[in-house]
Amino acid sequence: MPYSILIADPIDKKAQQMLADAGFEVTAPGEPSPEAIIRLLPGFDVLIVRSRTKVTAEMIDAGIKLKVIGRAGVGVDTIDVAEAERRGIKVFNAPGSNSRSVAEHTIGLIFALTRKIPQADGSMKGGRWEKKLFEGTELEGKVLGVLGYGNVGKIVADLAAGIGMKVIIWSRPADRTEKYPFYEHLGDALARADFLTVHVPKVPETENFLRREMFSLMKDKVYIVNTARGGIVNEADLLEALNAGKVAGAALDVFENEPYPLKSLVIHPRVIATPHIAALTKEAQARAGAMMAEQLIEWAKPA
């Protein structure tokens, strides 16, 4: 009997066809609510999600036939992995599939911050010509602190170096590199950076990773970019640092409470906010879908 797959968040059409061609029974109802997913799950062997759907213990318990949960993206922080393991359910994801997309978005946000591009565009769309308000800052020679030298951090570092920024790295010892100055102590990196970009995974050790006491170690007028995960940067402390002038500007693609982020932070005049779209490119979605399909096809092969 073929395995049945519920695709709860839309994935790349080619990946969906790969699964169908391999003999899976594929059901893709669009973007069902969590309640609808719970109602549907008892009839399926495999659940595929992206970042929209949070796979809770309640959802897993509803999947009485579940054998695999797949996330067509990077990381598994949106899945209750402990509950899945308790039930003997395998959890797959697609590491590295969106690294280039996230890295390019990060660099784009840095440019947008320093050249005040969103503000200038809004001014023009409002029928104003306010040239003097939008004096920018060049990036060449500025120090970029890359916090986390994994798949995304490596690409960000190389892109930033390519436009003339001085790159420094803080990461776990296993990621040590000779390519750029590497700091084992976070405070040493924070004190040297004009820009800080966050690329660490969200795990218990990185909850509120950048918080009030860390902001106090940074240069005055530092810029902060987070395209990793919400909750790594403490949003209340960041807002406080922005209002105090410690942080010159912040660009955020991820938030503690999605899709309802802290409004006072989102509308702050020195914050650029995007709705968790760093990984949302055609190329990244195709790679993530293909990686997920390939893993499921391999898993389903007879022993």
Q: Please give the positions annotated as active site.
A: 229, 258, 276
The rounded Cα 302 to chain-centroid distance in angstroms is: 35
3-state secondary structure the chain: CCCEEEECCCCCHHHHHHHHHCCCEEECCCCCCHHHHHHHHHHCCEEEECCCCCECHHHHHHCCCCCEEEECCCCCCCECHHHHHHCCCEEECCCCCCHHHHHHHHHHHHHHHHHCHHHHHHHHHCCCCCHHHHCCCCCCCCEEEEECCCHHHHHHHHHHHHCCCEEEEECCHHHCCCCCCEECCHHHHHHHCCEEEECCCCCHHHCCCECHHHHCCCCCCEEEEECCCCCCECHHHHHHHHHHCCEEEEEECCCCCCCCCCHHHHCCCCEEECCCCCCCCHHHHHHHHHHHHHHHHHHHCCC
d(CA 245, CA 249): 9
**Closest of 113, 151, 143 to residue 279, by C-alpha:** 151
